Structure 1
Amino acid sequence: MIYNRNYNWPKEFLFLYAFLLALTYSPVVSAHVGSSGVIVQKQAGKYQLLISIKPPDVVPGTASVTVFVENGRVSSIGARPIYFRSGDKGAPTHDILTPTGQNRYEGDLWLMDSGSSSIELSIDGPDGKQQVVVPVMAVATALREMPEGTGFGLAAMGLLLVVMLITIIGASNADGIVAPGQAPPAKIGRRRLAGMSVGLVVIVLILAGWRSWWNSTAEDYRNVQLYRPTPIRSSIQVADAQRQLTIQFDTTGFGKDRQKRRPLSYLLPDHGKLMHAFLVRMPGPSSAGLDAFAHLHPNRRDTLTYEATLPALPGGRYLLYADVVYRSGFAETLTDTVDVPALKTAGSLPGAKVASAAKPSDIDDSWLVAEPMGVKAGAENVPHLDNDMVVCGKPGASVKLADGSTMLWMDKQSQVLEVGKLYTLKFAVADAQGKAAPLEPYLGMGGHAVILRSDGTVYIHLHPVGTYSMAAEGSLVGRIADTARTFHYPNAVQFRDSIDTYIAKLKTMPEVEKNKLLAAAIPGMSHQMKTNNMVEFPYAFPRAGHYRIWVQVKRNGQVLTGVFDTQVNEPLL
């Protein structure tokens, strides 16, 4: 086990504190909208690694680290947590992971404080030494209540200890006046009773003080340490046949509650965009739901306000997920629901608003209206956009794209997937003649994917390298290289203006040059496929249920979106 050497507490105390804290609360929230684990698949030198990190939901707590060496000869793998705030100088030494199988290494690391952090892996072997930094958000996301049986057991043991301690104090006060071989005096009983009474008072005062400290600590945990996403207010305004989406950070309580504060002037662009907003239509009276989808990139109007022109989406109530990254490397998904008004088609009424007139505010915005999510009668475990073909002897799925090409879901291990199992979701694109269709970079990478559980409780924005933010990794890698013990933020206005200038420059650049610049800004993110018509994403589904997957690639300058459904069940025992 590792603990941060900034703390001088013994490990036994840390374990007891974390144990009691974990028993005292009940789950109420989940990080990254139901997908708290971090999965990374990347090349480091000659090593191809698949990394899974499960952060604790109570801090202090231990993060579970698993590394699969898919390629390369490894002798040992070390791991250590590094916080953005303290950097490399304030981090502990590496802990050696334990080999648990062929090319598999595991270990647990203590995360002692909340905040933006990372796990640094040090790989050593005949193929050289490499380091990999994986962003991990060390935040408390759960409240737990002590089980009733455990509470009764601890209360009984505590009462026994109190009685024994009072008895010992009384005996010490009385028996100490009796010399060896002498008969006890008549007043020994009174002395014993007086000693026990004083001991009882002292113990009661100690327990009262401890209870006050514990209640204060629990209240601080509940109100300060427990993570709560930054609230946002989203709305739609209609003007000149355009529907404008406005997303505004709600800063209510920022001045009084430090838990709510966010450095909103210090947002970082993630593969060229300050915000990635996803809209998905919810089920309603006229819609089966999850049929309309949009991937938008709102422009920053001011520090608190972001705006985007809506594409030709049908009206209805939509789920909104907005991804942002702060200068510390802390990545956050903001959620809301928004009512999108329907726009009438041309010619229906004089002066009618025309949906087709909508022009995207960002050239990289994309959207799709597909078949609603649902299950055919008699095929409850076989979603209708899934398992319609067999690819190389394995279940597969296919869907037609907007340009006439076909996207195929390759290498599915089974028709129904399992919770918690690491999958590499592979997708290929073939043209109308069935030949491999070369893909172009989309925002500097091979593709994007969004996975959403049917009830909206699980959401993830995936990249070919995994479930984490590229900007977060870059920020944390830069902080580790910084030799300063503490980090000092630059001037807020200058920082914000420099980011806005950078993004404005990206918008004017030709596509090829823009992708080169984005790729240069995220070294180590290259995830080249053996064939250039394929893209893959590592992921483990966190809960059983019915999921929809949107896969986005780019071809001939056009963003293409394929949509697939799948069923995920609990693993069979």
Structure 2
Amino acid sequence: MKKLLYFLILALITIQTAQAHVGSSGVLMQGQAGPYKVLIDVKPPDVIPGTARITVFVETGNAEKIFVRPIYFRSGDKGAPSSDEIQPVKDQPGQFQGDIWLMERGSSSVQIQISGKEGKGEFIVPIAAVSTAQRAMPKSLGIGLSILGLLLFLLMITAIGASVSDGILRPGDVLSARQKRKRWINMGIATIVCGLILYGGSSWWNSWAHEYKEFMYKPLTGSSSLKQDGDQRVFQLKIDTTNWEGRKRGSLLSTLIPDHGKLMHVFLVRTPGLDAFAHIHPERTDSTTFQSYLPNLPAGKYLVYADIVQYSGFAETIVDTLDIPEHVLKNADLKKTAEEDTYVITDALNSPGKIPIDDNVVICGKPGTKTVFKDSSYAIWEGKPDRPLEAGKPYLLNFEVFNPDGTPTFPEPYLGMMGHVAVLRSDGSVYIHLHPTGTFAMAAEQTLKNRLSDTTRLIKRPSPKIFRDSIDRYLGKLKSMSTLEREELLMTEMGMYKTDGSAMTNMEHGNRISFPYSFPKSGRYRIFFQVKRNGQVLTGAFDAQVRDTTTL
């Protein structure tokens, strides 16, 4: 029964996987567009070609006009369509909304241009434009079109027959036997020709539908396992490349790019209580295999979410489950693949506060309450604990971090950001890795910004070996740096610091950290909040209840 339950959980989260997250297809992004601070909500279509809904919330400044246009990674700025203006929302000051067509599948971005009293500003929002659904024609529409098509078919044949008989008769004349025979012959020929045309059209349509179905987005799959290295366990993830030739995946695994300085981010969460959590960074050992030392996680069944980013900026999440057996350590000094690798144990969803306290245990909080880190500092999630959140509504998840004595503390850069958040629904059907700038991979934003300034009309796939060697050299360079040097480089590359290192451009450096997010559906959620303090990565946990307002 347990095996069946875990199989159903895995099947559910695999079916709902969409690009870089699980169950969260939209993009929320916050930042500065020139003089305007904005929050942007993009809801991409699940069918390509299709329309994406763009909502822009102008938080500071007086915006008057906003223009948007899609820019595809493959064709760049030179191959992009002209901009469309989106309109102000009635009775919602500072809010603009509109739709844009996405015609090409793959890695894309939306360019948002704002003008107003304070001047002009521009913003680039990375999105993944892929078909994840197939629309069925309504039965009533199908019947109606079939009847109309039959009538048109009969009218066409009748018209062709009349054109060689009744249509050429003089007033008062009667069709001769020869003319009647000619009419029937021509109607027969017309029936055959029209039938062939219909058959050809039907074959073309079926072929196109088959190709569409064949190239609908299918997420990467992989299998995770454990192996032993002396007294320590090693986590291993192998990406499944079965049938890749038909899917035209090509040399994808040789053209991955680092996000926050890591080629892969893996989150392990014990199910069903979501009471054990790890954030690790496996390294590539060959084209399909990634591995890293496993923290001292307790035994149980774990959900595995592995994030990677392609050279085009297209981000994906590989989903799996992993059984971790009980393990007795003989040596307390565990190795780490990356110094940022960390884990935490907390109370289960259904047993709040009921857990023995030790060095790696934190008690889960909720909005308006605090969660205490293992170094006795703590974080508070702003909000009211007795007020459920609403599904589909854009939120800023605001956290404040304090020293043990209650004074504000300023987190240190952690993988180029001031903080990270992982959001999971209780059944594992929703997972997302958030940053203070938004719900997208930072590597995707960098790639698409660079593509905007590139004048190449059609970009070519890079040489896999040359590309991979350059990435390996870059990763080796990062490893050889001190922590301070590495964080400064990552933040500079991601635009978090000005080139002189004097100030941040996209994030405020304080004890308050905000993460934009819209919960996709109702249910119970657990939020793992991570910051760095005194050189140590700290993880806290919060729970939230989300309701579906459409049923109220």
- TM-score strictly above 0.5: yes
1:167 to 143, 158, 165: 158
Q: Which moved more, 1:118-127 or 1:443-452?
A: 118-127
1:110 to 101, 107, 111: 101
Counterpart in 1 of 2:220?
230
**2 CA distance for matches of 1:52 and 1:560?**
30
**1 CA distance for matches of 2:251 and 2:128?**
14
**1 CA distance for matches of 2:482 and 2:45?**
43
Corresponding residue pairs, total = 518
Q: Greater relative contact order (Cα 8 A, min sep 6): structure 1 or 2?
A: 2
Taking a change above 3 Å as real, the CA distance of residues 180 and 331 of structure 1, as seen in their structure-2 partners, is same
Counterpart in 2 of 1:243?
233
Task: Give deviations 1:350-370, integer Å, cap 9, x for gaps.
Answer: xxx437342221101111111
Q: Please show how residues 385-396 of structure 1 align to structure 2 within 5 Å.
A: 385=364, 387=366, 396=368
Q: 1:219 and 2:229 equivalent?
A: no
The answer on whether the counterparts of 1:276 and 1:324 sit within 8 Å (CA) in structure 2 is yes
Letter in 2 for 1:541: F
Long gaps (5+) in structure 2: 1-13, 353-362, 498-503
Counterpart in 2 of 1:568?
546
Counterpart in 1 of 2:347?
371
Shift of 1:482: 1.2
Task: Give deviations 1:370-408, integer Å, cap 9, x for gaps.
Answer: 1112277xxxxxxx9555xxxxxxx61321111112211
What TM-score, normalized to structure 2? 0.88
The answer on whether the counterparts of 1:385 and 1:397 sit within 8 Å (CA) in structure 2 is no
The answer on whether the counterparts of 1:242 and 1:357 sit within 8 Å (CA) in structure 2 is no
Secondary structure of 1:176's aligned partner: helix
Shift of 1:340: 1.6
Counterpart in 1 of 2:408?
436
Taking a change above 3 Å as real, the CA distance of residues 530 and 84 of structure 1, as seen in their structure-2 partners, is closer
Shift of 1:119: 1.0
Counterpart in 1 of 2:41?
52
% of aligned pairs identical? 48
Task: Give deviations 1:14-38, integer Å, cap 9, x for gaps.
Answer: xxxxxxxxxxxxx965513111111
Q: Which moved more, 1:188-197 or 1:116-125?
A: 188-197
Long gaps (5+) in structure 1: 1-26, 284-288, 345-352, 377-383, 388-394
Q: 1:360 and 2:336 equivalent?
A: yes
Counterpart in 2 of 1:545?
523
**2 CA distance for matches of 1:412 and 1:262?**
49
Q: Please show how residues 132-531 of structure 1 align to structure 2 within 5 Å.
A: 132-185=123-176, 189-223=180-214, 225-254=215-244, 256-283=245-272, 289-344=273-328, 353-354=329-330, 356-374=332-350, 385=364, 387=366, 396-412=368-384, 415-523=387-495, 526=504
CA-atom RMSD, angstroms? 2.3
Letter in 1 for 2:448: L
Counterpart in 2 of 1:12?
none
The answer on whether the counterparts of 1:426 and 1:534 sit within 8 Å (CA) in structure 2 is yes
Shift of 1:524: 5.7
Task: Give deviations 1:125-173, integer Å, cap 9, x for gaps.
Answer: 2322222111111111112322333322322232233233333333333
**1 CA distance for matches of 2:298 and 2:230?**
17
The answer on whether the counterparts of 1:315 and 1:340 sit within 8 Å (CA) in structure 2 is yes
The answer on whether the counterparts of 2:165 and 2:175 sit within 8 Å (CA) in structure 1 is no
Q: Please show how residues 32-51 of structure 1 align to structure 2 within 5 Å.
A: 32-51=21-40
1:94 to 60, 83, 89: 83
Q: Which moved more, 1:532-541 or 1:517-526?
A: 517-526
Taking a change above 3 Å as real, the CA distance of residues 413 and 261 of structure 1, as seen in their structure-2 partners, is farther
The answer on whether the counterparts of 1:420 and 1:540 sit within 8 Å (CA) in structure 2 is yes
Q: Which moved more, 1:312-321 or 1:154-163?
A: 154-163
Shift of 1:114: 1.3
